[in-house]
Amino acid sequence: MARKTPQNFESSLIELEQLVEAMEAGELSLDEALKHFEKGIALASGCQQALQQAEQKVTQLMEKNGELLEKPFESPGSETDD
């Protein structure tokens, strides 16, 4: 089986949009539509993983007593009481 080179987030998103447009046009055979759907699911999963990895890397810089401190990014759904 040939090895595929990983796509970056932006190119995956563009390809996903193109697949959706082709499916929405309604001119694909059932077999082609299923192939597009399977490819789209794989691309969406890859994009989701890339977003999760990026979110984990994001840090907020906070200033305290004149020093910059890194604080892990907290998504809106993970609020804590300070």
| Residue 70 clears pLDDT 80, i.e. is over it | no
| pLDDT, tens digit (0-9, with 9 covering 90-100), for 49-67 | 998 888 777 666 666 676 7
**Cα Rg of the chain, angstroms:** 20
> Could you tell me the residue ranges of all domains in the chain?
9-78
| pLDDT, tens digit (0-9, with 9 covering 90-100), for 6-15 | 569 999 999 9
| Residue 3 clears pLDDT 80, i.e. is over it | no
Query: Which distant-in-sequence residues (6+ apart) come within 8 Å of 61 by Cβ?
Result: 68, 69, 70, 71
Mean pLDDT value of segment 65-82: 64
Rounded CA separation 61/52 (Å)? 20
Please state the pTM of the whole predicted model.
Answer: 0.62
Q: Is 68 helix (H, G, I), strand (E, B) or coil?
A: strand
Rounded CA separation 81/3 (Å)? 47
